[in-house]
Amino acid sequence: MKILLDTHIWVWRLLEPERLATGLAELLAEPGHELYLSPISVWETLVLARKKRLALQPDPAAWVHAALRKSATTMAPLDHEVALQSENLAGFGSNDPADRLLVATALVHGLTLATADRAMHEFEALRVVG
């Protein structure tokens, strides 16, 4: 399975793995699955750190670089089709630009999204785990 990690899933997996549902943690640990991360999640993580909603040591940029190496994810393409699709999500209940871009990334690139976000789980066009 090709799994796109929502920002909070990526951060929880690295900083607070106990917050992950047991089944999701096991699924993400299975060696046969390919894990993807969007550049949007890196940006969103840095924004959270700048707003002091997330403490990343020794500093946010260094933490992100180390986290990218540790998490062994593939970069999910953020391309024109994703941008176009992000504004064509009829029935998706969130106006958050990062959420819309992550959903569009999953749809355009045929990825399953790992998330705890209720709006994403309720969006029928999307394959979701978590």
| 34-58 exposure pattern, b = at least 16 Cβ within 10 A, e = fewer | ebbbbebbbebbbebbeeeebebee
Asked if 103 and 113 touch (Cβ cutoff 8 Å), the reply is yes
- The whole-model pTM stands at 0.96
Q: Could you report the average pLDDT of every consecutive run of 10 residues in the chain (130 residues)? A: 98 97 95 97 98 97 97 96 97 95 98 97 96
Class of domain 2-129: alpha beta
> What is the dihedral sign for C-alpha 29, 113, 99, 65?
positive
